Amino acid sequence: MVLVVTFVFVCGLVGWLSVKSQSILPIAGRRGILLIMLSLPFLLIRVAYFLLQEYGPSKFNMASGHVGALVGMGLLMEIISVAIFLTARAIIEPISDSAQTTRIARSDDAESNGN
């Protein structure tokens, strides 16, 4: 039950933050939030699978259940979610641009201190 409440809270928090931060975030940040929101249905399937493992029929049991349910609802959803999270991280702050962004920020700070 705590898992379901936590999941609903996180979904609500992500939705609220995406609406409130539209005017503040740059384009890359907005795209990152959209990708995080895209991952929520895959996480929902993962949470449902976890609940079915605990309280559902024996075909969802990890040890003696169907391998298709384990692969489809467990492993595949986890892989898709992680891939979306890594993509969101790469979009929000690209690795190649981080050194250039730091140099620009430092030069802006030096100009503002000099004036």
Q: Say yes or no to pLDDT of 113 above 70.
A: no
CB-based contacts of 22, cutoff 8 Å, min separation 6: 30
Tens-digit pLDDT profile for residues 35-92: 988 999 999 999 999 888 888 888 888 888 888 888 998 899 999 999 999 999 988 8
Q: Is residue 13 part of a domain?
A: yes
The model carries a pTM of 0.71
Q: Is residue 114 part of a domain?
A: no
Show the domain range for 50: 2-93
In this structure, the number of other CB atoms found within 10 A of the CB of residue 109 comes to 10
Look at 71-80, 90-99, 100-109 and tell me which has the smallest mean pLDDT.
Answer: 100-109
In the three-class reduction of DSSP (H, G, I as helix; E, B as strand; rest coil), residue 115 is classed as coil
Q: Is residue 11 part of a domain?
A: yes
Sign of CA dihedral 92, 95, 99, 100: negative
What is the tally of structural domains in the chain?
Answer: 1
Q: Is residue 21 part of a domain?
A: yes
Here the tokens at position 30 are 């907005």
Q: Is residue 103 part of a domain?
A: no
